[in-house]
Amino acid sequence: MVQGAGIREFILHDIAHFGIRASVSIIFIFHGTSKINPGFGGFLNSVGVPLEMQLPLAIAETLGGSLLIIGILSRISSSVLSMIMLSVIFYIKKAHSLSGQMGVELELLLLATNLSIIVIGPGRISVSHMVKQIPRFLQ
């Protein structure tokens, strides 16, 4: 009976890990695709970021989120997305406050989740786990 409980526990951990990875992925895919909007370029200029960064940011967030959800290059994608979140927290929002108009609570949550994915990896519900020939550092 204990063995059955252990198997259920592992399955629940795998499902929970995938759920966390998928929810963060969806957020980044949504935010990345919204950065293609020409109006976002005006926002970048207003905060002192060159307009040329609009497309690389959109691609990094959309591609990074897509790779995270399928579970390929998860650690690398999470590293790039973590750097983006750090730059938003300290450069764009200047770590002004935790909540409110310039609050960083969402960015901190996304940063913490990405750091967890870097440490834990993609999990068992991922293409990397199914293929098993991808080196661990590339998962």
- Determine the Cα–Cα distance for residues 73 and 2; give it in Å rounded to an integer: 35
Q: Is the pLDDT of residue 17 over 50?
A: yes
Confidence of residue 1 (pLDDT cuts 50, 70, 90): very low
pLDDT tens digits, 77-91: 999 999 999 999 999
Q: Which domain holds residue 36?
A: 2-138
Instruction: Quote the radius of gyration of the chain (alpha carbons, Å).
Output: 17
Number of domains the chain contains = 1
Specify the DSSP class assigned to residue 88.
I
pLDDT tens digits, 41-51: 888 888 888 98
* Predicted TM-score of the model (pTM): 0.85
Of residues 66, 62, 68, the one with CA closest to residue 17: 68
